[in-house]
Structure 1
Amino acid sequence: MTETLTAWQIRAYGTADQLTQIERPLPELKANDVLIKVRASAVTRADSMMLAGTPRFARLFLGLRRPKQDLIGTCYAGEVMAFGSQVTHLRVGDPVFGEAGLRFGANATHLLVDSDGVMLPKPAGLPFEEAATLCDGALTSLNFLQNVAQLTKRQRCLIIGASGGLGTAAVQIAKAMGAEVTAVCGPRNLDLVMGLGADHVVDYTRHPVDQITGPFDVIFDTTGRYPFARMRTALTPKGRYVSPVLTLGLLRAMLVTRMIGRRRALFSATGMKPAAELRPMLAQVLTLIAEEKLTPIIDRTYPLADLPEAQRRVATGHKRGNIVLCT
């Protein structure tokens, strides 16, 4: 067995320049552990925010000067390499995918995960590169649209940031749920987003987002750049504004809208939900893929050694779909 793994360490909060490629001995297996040979891993905006230490109040949990868990990466796909004595449902070589959770470290050659965590068998026809993205854009979008916003058939849904990793998944999932989808993106991505099934596409360079009139039953701001206060008038009287980017402004809006009015601002930390809740949702994502209602969109792939460059691509805010590392 290979005695070392290669991973990327965060030396301090900041930009991709703070990433250092390192080698470490393979971790020792505990009874419920699974060692994964990583074939592909996602490079996500959530990882970028962890790298930057934003929002700053999150450092109270992540670590004040740098993350307590110093390796980066959350979403992976690979093959089972070894497992602990209490693991009975896996075999060496099984293709799997999932998320590392608070252990992090998925942007690596090997990853240690809990056998009871968010991990599912990878379907034979699903490439490792696509499987590695599912616990970010697809799983998060499904949670926000289905569980947080409670989007239903024939409701009107506005998706801001429709060409990114979350947005490309959200457009397809909202359409699969039977919603009327208005998608916001830049001019070079209009055809992409329309091709994903959006009923209406808005070019934000020609039409200011906060001047879109709606009204919408659900506004899903995948970017966190258009707060509830700016978008509330585009909601129906009982409309829901949801965003995966938690800021102090969103926290205030959540508190205020619980006490005043019928419109709601809502948030969910998808990755913090129990694995027992996330696995069935991830199985729903696989069903959507099998029914050809959802296709993961890949912007670019990079070798593991080029993670800093991949992070810089994410930081531009102009990626089309997902960024993936291949090992």
Structure 2
Amino acid sequence: MATMRAACVERYGGPEVVQLREVEKPRPKQGELLIRVVNTTVNSADWRIRSLEVPRGYGTLMRLAMGFSKPRQPVLGSEISGVVEELGEGVEGFRVGDAVIAVAGMGMGAHAEFKVMSAAERVIAKPASLSFQEASALCFGGLTALHYLRARAKVKAGEKLLVIGASGAVGIAAIQLAREFGAEVTAVCSGGNAELVRSQGARHVIDYTREDLTARSEQYDVILDCVGSVEYGSVRPLLKQGGRLLRIVSSLAGQFTALFQGRLSGHRVISGVGTERTEDMRYLAELAAQGKYRPVIDSAFPLEGIRDAYTRVESKRKRGSVVLDVSPAPVHPRADGHIR
């Protein structure tokens, strides 16, 4: 039996519950690709699943969905950059050796040397302009920010956007995408990250360690809370008429109350689960190919250092994305420049 290395979560808990194991190497079935993982990420979703540190009200639901005493899928991780290793029967549009980006979604399994994916969805060509490390971090923050800004809030040119938690993966993606949409961005972060967020396109920066955000008189069309640090009542005075509060992280009760909050004030409170669509992946990749969108890498760890990667994520001090180096990047990956 052919095997591969994989980081396995054998019970819920701290970084110490992650063990590097030899597991069976998967084989692609009809319509599937086998991808050799070059890089993957450890993100906040991986941390929450591994630790069960979830917003209030979600603990039991998470156990029911993921596994009561341990994750049913022990290999976490959703983002992949890598190389097509093998094609299943009937696969078209990909060749062995193609450099690709894939999103495993809730199927996870990316924290391993190989991952099987359906060739029909959530696998695209890697832009030549991105390194494999950058490509692995393209989608978690990017797809989340794109879903909230474009699909839900419908941010328009000239609107004012306030991004809370601006130096994380979602916040940095939001700044870059809002810049592309023509919005004026104010970033909320610590003073040490001010230069970073300005370099990504933020026009203004609020240092939350020195200034009370809720005491400001300026108003915004859209407030994007990436970290779950504000309630509607505290930021209501900051929203213009027709303003939208986007809550990426909220309690279960917050999900329900969002349906009704703000209506009397002419506001909308928007929360819920984001989407992972292939066409949105292609959009992000096209922007990256044009030099308009680029993930920021906070740090990189080898697969055997995944516990340290988790520790960095849980510090809540990372800037952008934490990546894992799983296997060596090919010197000359096959790429035709077309974003499939």
What amino acid maps onto 2:304 in structure 1?
A
Matched residues in 2 for 1:168 and 1:314: separation?
15
1:285-296 matched pairs, under 5 angstroms: 285-296=284-295
Matched residues in 1 for 2:152 and 2:31: separation?
32
What amino acid maps onto 1:114 in structure 2?
S
Q: Cα distance, 1:227 vs. partner?
A: 2.5
Q: Cα distance, 1:259 vs. partner?
A: 6.1
The answer to whether 1:237 aligns with 2:229 is no
Larger relative CO (CA 8 A, sep 6+): 1 or 2?
A: 2
Structure 1 residues 27-36 or 90-99, which shifts more?
Answer: 27-36
1:182-193 matched pairs, under 5 angstroms: 182-193=186-197
The answer to whether 1:67 aligns with 2:66 is no
Matched residues in 2 for 1:260 and 1:128: separation?
48
Of the candidates 103, 106, 112, which is equivalent to residue 110 of structure 2? 106
Of the candidates 173, 192, 196, which is equivalent to residue 177 of structure 2? 173
Q: Is the 8 A contact 1:227 1:249 kept in 2?
A: no
Stretches of structure 2 that go unaligned for 5 or more consecutive residues are 327-340
- TM-score w.r.t. length of structure 2: 0.90
Q: Is the 8 A contact 1:8 1:105 kept in 2?
A: no
What amino acid maps onto 1:3 in structure 2?
A
* Secondary structure of 1:251 counterpart: helix
Structure 1 residues 232-241 or 305-314, which shifts more?
Answer: 232-241
Q: Cα distance, 1:250 vs. partner?
A: 2.4
Q: Is the 8 A contact 1:228 1:250 kept in 2?
A: no
* Secondary structure of 1:239 counterpart: strand
Match of 1:281 in 2: 280
After superposition, the C-alpha distances for 1:88-138 in whole angstroms (9 at most, x for unaligned) are 221111110021122211111111112122110112232110010111111
Matched residues in 1 for 2:217 and 2:10: separation?
45
Q: Cα distance, 1:231 vs. partner?
A: 1.8
After superposition, the C-alpha distances for 1:177-218 in whole angstroms (9 at most, x for unaligned) are 111111001111111111212111000000123334431111
Q: Is the 8 A contact 1:299 1:322 kept in 2?
A: yes
Match of 1:83 in 2: 87
What amino acid maps onto 2:242 in structure 1?
K
Matched residues in 1 for 2:281 and 2:216: separation?
32
Matched residues in 1 for 2:69 and 2:188: separation?
36
Matched residues in 1 for 2:321 and 2:218: separation?
28
Q: Cα distance, 1:261 vs. partner?
A: 4.4
Match of 1:52 in 2: 51
* Secondary structure of 2:11 counterpart: coil
Q: Would the alpha carbon gap of residues 141 and 69 (structure 1) be closer, same or farther in structure 2, given more than 3 Å must change?
A: same
After superposition, the C-alpha distances for 1:9-36 in whole angstroms (9 at most, x for unaligned) are 1112222111111111112322122111
Match of 1:265 in 2: 269
1:205-220 matched pairs, under 5 angstroms: 205-220=209-224
Q: Is the 8 A contact 2:26 2:114 kept in 1?
A: no
Q: Is the 8 A contact 2:126 2:285 kept in 1?
A: no
* Structure 1: 4+ residue segments shifted above 6 A: none
Give the alignment's Cα RMSD to 1 decimal: 1.7
* Secondary structure of 1:134 counterpart: coil
* Secondary structure of 1:163 counterpart: coil
Q: Is the 8 A contact 1:34 1:83 kept in 2?
A: yes
1:152-163 matched pairs, under 5 angstroms: 152-163=156-167
What amino acid maps onto 1:73 in structure 2?
G
Matched residues in 1 for 2:29 and 2:301: separation?
32
Of the candidates 83, 94, 99, which is equivalent to residue 95 of structure 1? 99
Q: Is the 8 A contact 2:214 2:234 kept in 1?
A: yes
Matched residues in 1 for 2:179 and 2:85: separation?
38
Match of 1:36 in 2: 35
Percent identity (aligned): 34
After superposition, the C-alpha distances for 1:127-167 in whole angstroms (9 at most, x for unaligned) are 11001011111121111111111110101100011111111
Q: Is the 8 A contact 2:220 2:239 kept in 1?
A: yes
Q: Is the 8 A contact 1:228 1:253 kept in 2?
A: no
Of the candidates 114, 123, 140, which is equivalent to residue 119 of structure 1? 123
Q: Would the alpha carbon gap of residues 12 and 213 (structure 1) be closer, same or farther in structure 2, given more than 3 Å must change?
A: farther
Q: Would the alpha carbon gap of residues 74 and 235 (structure 1) be closer, same or farther in structure 2, given more than 3 Å must change?
A: same
Matched residues in 2 for 1:85 and 1:258: separation?
52
What amino acid maps onto 2:173 in structure 1?
A
Q: Would the alpha carbon gap of residues 21 and 221 (structure 1) be closer, same or farther in structure 2, given more than 3 Å must change?
A: same
